[in-house]
Amino acid sequence: MHNKLDQIFRLLDCTADEMEEMVMRHYFDWCSGKCYTPATNKAIDCHALNLELNTQDLQSLMADRALFNYFLNQYLESMLDFLEDAVCMRPLPTTTEARLMYKNSINNVHRFYNTDLMTTARNKKINEHVKN
């Protein structure tokens, strides 16, 4: 796996630290996308959904180790799909092309949803997450 990560770093022209930041940003975005509730006390536009971010729900999801591991497994699968596609190209994609391909591969992660893990994470109090 280490060799494959090195290949991904080279294709994207990024460091391990930059990749870690990217993964965490995607995890935040993924969790955020699962934490919207109907807005209250706001005029409803009949042409758009009126939703607001539930920050307490977001904190519960972000802090849950099992949910993060689930996300990370899905994310790694998407990374490997990206690598498989990229290394088959001749010539290899430019950094710009590789980053666009990577973005498209990673966007697939947003489709995944594990009801059991989400429910468990939402039912825990934040201090329970910190202890585990």
Determine contact, residues 120/64, Cβ cutoff 8 Å. yes
In a domain, 57, yes or no: yes
Over the stretch 49-90, which tens digit does the pLDDT of each residue have?
556 778 888 999 999 999 999 999 999 999 999 999 999 999
| Domain that includes residue 84, residue range | 2-37+49-131
In the predicted model, what is the mean pLDDT of the chain?
A: 86
Give the number of other Cβ atoms within 10 Å of residue 83's Cβ: 19
Q: Read off the tokens for 79.
A: 């990374």
- Structural domain includes residue 108: yes
Residue 55 resides in a domain: yes
Q: How many residues does the chain have?
A: 132
**Which distant-in-sequence residues (6+ apart) come within 8 Å of 35 by Cβ?**
53, 54, 55, 57, 58, 61
- Give the end-to-end CA distance of the chain in Å, rounded to a whole number: 27
Residue 41 banded pLDDT, cuts 50, 70, 90: very low
pLDDT over 90 at 26, yes or no: yes
Specify if 67 maps to a domain.
Answer: yes
Give the HSE-up count for residue 77: Cα atoms under 13 Å, Cβ half-sphere: 11
Annotate 74-93 with three-state secondary structure. Answer: HHHHHHHHHHHHHHCCCCCC
pLDDT grade for 94, boundaries at 50, 70 and 90: very high
With a pLDDT cut of 70, the percent of the chain lying above it is 82
Residue 28: its pLDDT value, please? 94
Q: What is the pTM of this model?
A: 0.81
pLDDT interval class at 4 (50, 70, 90): very high
When divided into structural domains, the chain yields a total of 1
